[in-house]
Amino acid sequence: MTKKSDALTALQVKNAKPKEKPYKLFDGGGLYLEVAPTGSRIWRLKYRQLNGKENRLSFGPYPEITLQEARERRLEARKLLLNGVDPAKYRDDAKRRAVEQAANTFEKIAREWYATKVPTWSARTAKNMIQRLEADIFPEIGSRPIDELKHRDIIIALRKIEERGAAEIAHRLKAVCSKIFSYAIQCGLTDRNLVVDMKDVLKTRRASHFAAIDADELPAFLGSLERNEARMFQPTRIALRLMLLVFVRTSELIETPWSEINLEKCEWIIPWQRMKRGKLTVNPDTTNHHVCLSRQACDLLRELHAITGGGKYLFPNQRDHKRPISNNTILVALERMGYKGRMTGHGFRALAMSTIKERLGYRHEVVDRQLAHAPKDKVASAYDRAQFLAERSKMSKRPLSDVLSSASYC
C-alpha cells in the first residue's frame, strides 16, 4: 500500500475553522498553519538554529500567502540553513537593509556630500550649489532612495532644466549628480554611478568663451566711448577705460576701495584676500597682486578721485554709497554702447592677452602674471614666485597708441 502523505491540501487550508484553542495543521519539513480562535491563519516554520536551538519563523497570513508560496519560502529557508545562514537573522537583516535603503534618499545623500564639500568652497559657490539642487533636482528625485533610482529618473529631471533654456545649468547639475553618486558608492549605499553612462542624453554644448572684440576693433570702441552717445556717467566711462589699461577682473576693479590706491606713487596693490585665488578655501594664494599702472591709468584715477574720492569705493553704488556698483554695470554699459554679445567685462582680459602677446611681442608668462593667472603646472607654481614686476611695469606703460597703431585700419 502507498503510504498516506502528511502534506496539506489547498482545500484543507481553505476549510480550516477556528476552535476554542489555537491549533496547527502540519505540512511537513517544519511548515505548519497556525489557526487562532479569532480565525486568523498564519504560516510558520519550525527549525533548528545553527547552534541546535529550536526557533520559529513566520511567513505571513493566509490567504495572502498561499500554500504554494509558503512551501517556496520553506525551501528558501532550508537552502539558507544548508549554507550556514540562519533564516530568521537573514530576514531581520533584509528588513533592516530595506529600512536603511528607504531612508537613504537622494536628497539625504546629496546634503551629506554637500556638507563634506562646503569647507572647500567659497560662500557664493556653496549658496549657488544648494539653491540649484533645491530648485531643480530635489523636487524631482530627492525623495527617492538613491539605490532605487533609474537612468530615466535622472534624465527626466535634467531635461526639464534643459527645456526651459538653461542648458548650461543642466550640464553642471549632471556633473554634480555624478559626484553625489560617487560619494554614495564610497559610503556603500549604492553600487553604480548612473550618471557616468549619460554621455549623450543632453544636447551638446558648443565651446564658448567670453565675448571680446579684437585689437582691430579698438579704434571704433574708443571712438564710441569718447562720443558717449550712450550717455553714461563719467565714473562708468572711466571704469571702461581702466578695464582696457589694467586688465583686472571686473569684480576686482569695481570693489576696489580708495585705500588700495596710492596716487602719489601711482601704485595699486590688491590684497590677496580680494583676488580670485586668494579666496580659495583650500591652499589659497597669499600673494598680493601688484597692478602695474601706466601714466594714462594714473591720470584716470586722479580724475576719478575728484568725483568719488570722498567715499570708500572707486565706484560707489548710486543708491548706497557704502556699497560698490554691481557686476552688471559694466555689462549694461557695453550693451548701451551697442556691444551686446560682442564684448564683456571679462573680454577686456582676453583682449589684453591676445593683443599684448601678438601685437607687442611680450612673453606669455609676463602677461599671465599681469592678469593674475595661476601657473597651469602645479609643480612649476610651487617654485615660481617671480612677479616680473620690471617687465610688467614697462609693458603697462606702453602707450595705448602702440596698440592702436598696430590695428589694421588705424
Beta strands in 223-329 (DSSP E): 261-262, 267-270, 289-291
Active site residue 373: yes
CA angle, corner 34, sides to 32 and 36, nearest 5? 170
Catalytic residue selected from 159, 346, 357, 359: 346
Read off the amino acid at residue 202. Answer: L
> Order of strands across the sheet with 41-48?
23-28, 31-35, 41-48, 54-61
Q: Which three cell numbers stand for residue 293?
A: 599702472
Active site residue 249: yes
Enumerate long-range contacts of 73-82, CB under 8 Å, 24 or more apart. 73/43, 73/45, 74/27, 74/29, 74/30, 74/31, 74/45, 77/45, 77/47, 78/29, 78/47, 81/47, 81/50
Q: Is position 277 annotated as part of the catalytic site? A: no
Question: Taking Cα atoms as reference points, which of 71, 75, 46 lies closest to residue 58?
Answer: 46
Q: How far apart (Å, rounded) are the C-alpha atoms in residues 212 and 205?
A: 20
Half-sphere exposure of 242 (CA within 13 A, CB side): 29
| Catalytic position from the list 78, 132, 159, 276 | 276
- Structure-block grid coordinates of residue 209: 568663451
| C-alpha to C-alpha distance for 44 and 24, rounded to whole angstroms | 10
Is residue 97 among the annotated active site residues? no
**276 catalytically annotated:** yes
Residue 121: DSSP 8-state: S
State the catalytic residue, choosing from 349, 362, 369, 392: 349
**103: part of which helix (H) or strand (E)?**
helix 87-103
Say which of 124, 199, 383, 409 is annotated catalytic.
383
Q: Nearest to residue 183, comparing CAs of 114, 272, 243, 118?
A: 114
Cα gap 243→68, rounded to integer Å: 81
- Concerning whether 172 is annotated as a catalytic residue, the answer is no
Amino acid, single-letter form, for residue 325: I
What are residue 71's phi and psi, to 5 degrees? -65, -35
> Is 322 strand, coil or helix?
coil
Q: What are phi and psi of 235, to 5 degrees?
A: -60, -35
Give the neighbor-by-neighbor strand order of the sheet with 267-270: 261-262, 267-270, 289-291
DSSP code for 145 = B
Active site residues: 249, 276, 346, 349, 373, 383
